[in-house]
A and B are shown apart, each in its own frame.
Chain A
Amino acid sequence: MSQSFIARNPSVLWFLLLLAVFTICISVLSEAAGSSVVSTSFLKTLGKTLCLCLVAVAMDVVWGYCGILSLGHFAFFGIGGYAIGMWLMYERTKDIVIASLDNNILPATPDEITQAIGSQIFGVVGSADFPMIWAFSHSLTLQLLAVVLVPGILALIFGWLAFRSRVAGVYLSILTQAMTLALALYFFQNDSGLRGNNGLSGLQNIPGLEDVSQATLSLWFFWASAVALGAGYLMFAGMISGKFGSVIRAIRDNEARVRFLGYHVESYKLFIFTVTAMVAGIAGALYYPQAGIINPAEIAPIASIYLAVWVAIGGRGRLYGAVIGAALVSLMSSWFTGGSAPNINLGFYSLQWTDWWLVLLGLAFVSVTLFSPKGIGGLFDLWPSRKGDGA
């Protein structure tokens, strides 16, 4: 990183510093470090939140900077989760199966092992055969590649088709939403071989690391998520700060004019759409081992809309805005629905947060869009010595 990049973008440095400090503080306070201030379940929540921040940053780049309101990035996130989940599930089951087959009189043939793994994994949904889609599940390397490549290729094909036919604006949003719905329905089917509605579970148990406690594992994943967020943030900040970034923003503001200036707008949009989809896949691959289970409900269209809402609340067109939005809304959601928020007694009516949280959240979206289009991040503009580094 050249001196000038940091100098031009002091917020990046600030963000990375804050992230590092945050990570260190939480690590010190975690159960793995012998403290009990941050429980393992809360540590997992924080780690997951960091992944959500990463996908929100990607969303901000594609929407806030490039003007494409994609309602499909959470689907890419889910695909990343599925890709890593398949390896986790296969490998863990294989260990169990091999251990139990050791009890047999005859040593098991490779066929028998595959069949036993199959019936363990798919027995729950009433089948035993390995679907085609699981062909690479035995290899961590290939599945890790899939984490990046499957969302990437999907985004590439979809984007190529859509940008080529100049589908833009709200139509593109609806089209991405349709894509998300189709994906969710596909994953929902038992016939697609990904265990249907049940999805992949037990992902928190990492094969080969059975002896490591969840407290430690969670900490590792928390670190990995923090590093991924930091790296992603840095990468996107670099991407949007140079000439490339100017073109992207110009496309957002007036696509026709940029095309008239001789830029191949479609390629730029396709590049951004695909790269952000890949980052979303990585975020998902880090998220779901912490969540423990992935299933098609995660991919449902509403999840992608929430993603857009986080970015809107945090403030579009500034990367830290996306982080603020995602962290704030998801943490508040988990606090208010967790039953730990005190109910408010209005005398004539006891207001329960589990009932009213969503109502208020919805109204909050409305007011943010109406009265504060720059989101919470917009408040930073009030800081006298700073100039918004976004649009």
Chain B
Amino acid sequence: MNIRTTLLSTISASVLSMAGSAVLAGSHCEAPIKVGVLHSLSGSMAISETTLKDVMLMLIEQQNAKGGVLGCELEAIVVDPASDWPLFAEKARELLTVHDVDVIFGNWTSVSRKSVLPVIEELNGLLFYPVQYEGEESSKNVFYTGAAPNQQAIPATDYFLEELGVQKFALLGTDYVYPRTTNNILEQYLKDNGISAEDIFVNYTPFGHSDWATIVADVVALGEDGKQVGVISTINGDANIGFYKELASAGISADDIPVVAFSVGEEELSGLDTTNLVGHLAAWNYFQSAESTANEEFIAAWKAFAGEERVTNDPMEAHYIGFNMWVNAATTAKTTDVDAVRTAMYGQEFPNLTGGTAVMLSNHHLAKPVLIGEIAADGQFDIISQTTEVLGDAWTDFLPASAVLKSDWKDLGCGMYNTETETCVQLTSNY
């Protein structure tokens, strides 16, 4: 205990002194503020995560052009956890103890986040996690700038129920934690909305699955009792390509059986010919096709930075918002000390790229609008529905065990607060 606290206090003290000197020195600064970037640059997740590393480099470059933070220049420390989950923990420790970074932007998969959590909590680091996830977690040291299930899955299901009149659901997912939890929540939500258990078909396939003929045939056969069938897809990554190809060749149009996907964005569509997929849906908090000046500027900057053919997507916006909020919070707190920044983060507001304003809530989630887009022939999305800001919910209201839990780090100082017994279940997060 003693050793750990001394260790911690040395770290925070060094951070404090550094930040302090920055304030004193004004525009002159002894050491740059270090920003850790923890995204896989090799291995299976490099597909998605390399883009996020590039976006962070772009944002840091832009911020430095504006004069940095607290008069100090920002320095990006990029490490490669190589899509290897244990390596994420090792690299996070390295970032926090060897490089002494003030904040980390990183991770994509849930398992990598679970790997990093104990380290970040032990060393009191600060992580911004930019990807939509399954919720059911709240860590004092993580800000979740991606969507919680109620900011993506639930509105999309509402859209299916109300706007498309879907009566029978096929929940197709890749076999891992995000689809499992999301589908659990959705199953309960659908039952609450009067859909009977027989009308919910659930199927899990392995990562990178390519043999979709049988499953697509099963989905088509669901229509045999005359009900409108809809597919909610939490299929991840490469497997989507085979799935959509099979859908297209089976001639399933979005008018007959609509498919809404939670993990298919602009990046994923670039591996596909979308002419046969026009009309199928995706739910996100951001689409590249959103019409706003901020978005136009962001896209232009991104293309100039990374290349003309590159697209933008939802997790990139999440980093954009998260980074800017962190900059503003550090400016407000006049330090980059983790505890001070965390306090300053609550209530931070920053304009979304899609219009409106994102607000950081005391449960470390954002309030963001939910968008539903139809796939267009050019590989972009046609936005057909945009909600007002939805408050991110760490613990879902639709599973009995989680419905009683609440996260409030600002006033209650607890991420897992049982509202029934009015006690804090635990201070660390569950990993």
A–B touch (CB < 8 A): the answer is yes
Interface residues of A, Cβ cutoff 8 Å to B: 31-32, 39-42, 44-45, 93, 96, 99-100, 103-105, 119-120, 123-126, 128, 185, 188-190, 195-199, 201-202, 204-205, 211, 213-216, 288, 291-295, 297-298, 334, 337-339, 354-355, 358
Q: Is the CB of B89 within 8 A of A213?
A: no
Cα–Cα, bound, A250→B350 (Å)? 73
Q: A39-B98, A100-B425, A126-B183 are in contact. Are A292 and B111 (CB under 8 A)?
A: no
Interface residues of B, Cβ cutoff 8 Å to A: 1, 3-4, 7, 41-42, 77-80, 82, 84-87, 89-91, 93-94, 97-98, 110-111, 114-115, 117-119, 122, 134, 136, 175-177, 180-181, 183-184, 204, 206-207, 401, 418, 421, 423-426, 428, 430-431
* CB proximity of B225 to chain A, nearest CB, Å: 27
Interface residue from A41, A125, A198, A354 paired with B41 (Cβ < 8 Å): A354
Q: Is the CB of B85 within 8 A of A293?
A: yes
* CB proximity of A135 to chain B, nearest CB, Å: 22
Cα–Cα, bound, A58→B134 (Å)? 41
Interface residue from B184, B206, B421, B428 paired with A185 (Cβ < 8 Å): B206
Q: A197-B177, A211-B1, A213-B3 are in contact. Are A202 and B431 (CB under 8 A)?
A: yes
Q: Name 17 extra pairs, CB < 8 A, besides A31-B7, A201-B115, A297-B85.
A: A40-B97, A42-B94, A42-B98, A96-B428, A100-B426, A126-B177, A126-B180, A128-B401, A196-B176, A197-B175, A198-B177, A204-B89, A213-B1, A288-B86, A334-B90, A338-B80, A339-B79
Cα–Cα, bound, A104→B117 (Å)? 27
CB-based nearest B residue for A185 = B206
Q: Which of A123, A202, A288 gathers the greatest number of chain B CB atoms within 10 Å? A: A202
- What are 20 of the A-B contact pairs (CB < 8 Å)? A39-B98, A41-B98, A100-B424, A100-B425, A103-B418, A104-B421, A124-B430, A125-B180, A126-B181, A190-B180, A196-B175, A197-B111, A197-B176, A197-B207, A205-B118, A293-B114, A337-B42, A338-B91, A338-B94, A339-B79
* CB proximity of B119 to chain A, nearest CB, Å: 7
Q: A39-B94, A338-B79 are in contact. Are A190 and B430 (CB under 8 A)?
A: no
Q: Is the CB of B110 within 8 A of A198?
A: yes
Contacts of A124 in B (CB 8 A): 110, 114, 134, 136, 177, 181, 430
Cα–Cα, bound, A31→B183 (Å)? 45
Cα–Cα, bound, A123→B184 (Å)? 10
* CB proximity of B38 to chain A, nearest CB, Å: 10
Q: Which of A298, A339, A358 gathers the greatest number of chain B CB atoms within 10 Å? A: A339
Cα–Cα, bound, A328→B122 (Å)? 30
CB-based nearest A residue for B430 = A120
Contacts of B206 in A (CB 8 A): 185, 188
Contacts of A196 in B (CB 8 A): 175-177, 180
Q: Is the CB of A96 within 8 A of B426?
A: yes
Q: Is the CB of B119 within 8 A of A292?
A: yes
Cα–Cα, bound, A298→B87 (Å)? 11
Q: Is the CB of B3 within 8 A of A215?
A: yes
Q: A185-B206, A339-B80 are in contact. Are A201 and B118 (CB under 8 A)?
A: yes
Cα–Cα, bound, A195→B176 (Å)? 9
Cα–Cα, bound, A354→B136 (Å)? 34
CB-based nearest B residue for A298 = B86
Q: Is the CB of B82 within 8 A of A337?
A: yes
Q: Is the CB of A32 within 8 A of B3?
A: yes
Number of A-B contacts (CB under 8 A): 141
Q: A39-B98, A295-B111 are in contact. Are A44 and B90 (CB under 8 A)?
A: yes
* CB proximity of A55 to chain B, nearest CB, Å: 15
Q: A39-B98, A298-B86, A339-B79 are in contact. Are A293 and B115 (CB under 8 A)?
A: yes
Cα–Cα, bound, A40→B92 (Å)? 12
Interface residue from B3, B4, B89, B424 paired with A291 (Cβ < 8 Å): B89
* CB proximity of A219 to chain B, nearest CB, Å: 11
Contacts of B84 in A (CB 8 A): 297
Contacts of B122 in A (CB 8 A): 214
Cα–Cα, bound, A295→B134 (Å)? 18
Contacts of A288 in B (CB 8 A): 86
CB-based nearest A residue for B1 = A211
Interface residue from A190, A204, A294 paired with B118 (Cβ < 8 Å): A204
Q: Which of B119, B177, B184 gathers the greatest number of chain A CB atoms within 10 Å? A: B177
* CB proximity of A74 to chain B, nearest CB, Å: 14
Contacts of B85 in A (CB 8 A): 199, 293, 295, 297
CB-based nearest B residue for A104 = B421
CB-based nearest B residue for A216 = B3
Interface residue from B7, B77, B115 paired with A292 (Cβ < 8 Å): B115
Interface residue from B7, B110, B115, B175 paired with A188 (Cβ < 8 Å): B175
Contacts of B207 in A (CB 8 A): 197
Cα–Cα, bound, A119→B425 (Å)? 13
Interface residue from B97, B423, B424 paired with A41 (Cβ < 8 Å): B97
Contacts of A201 in B (CB 8 A): 111, 114-115, 117-118, 431
* CB proximity of A182 to chain B, nearest CB, Å: 13
Q: Is the CB of A189 within 8 A of B175?
A: yes
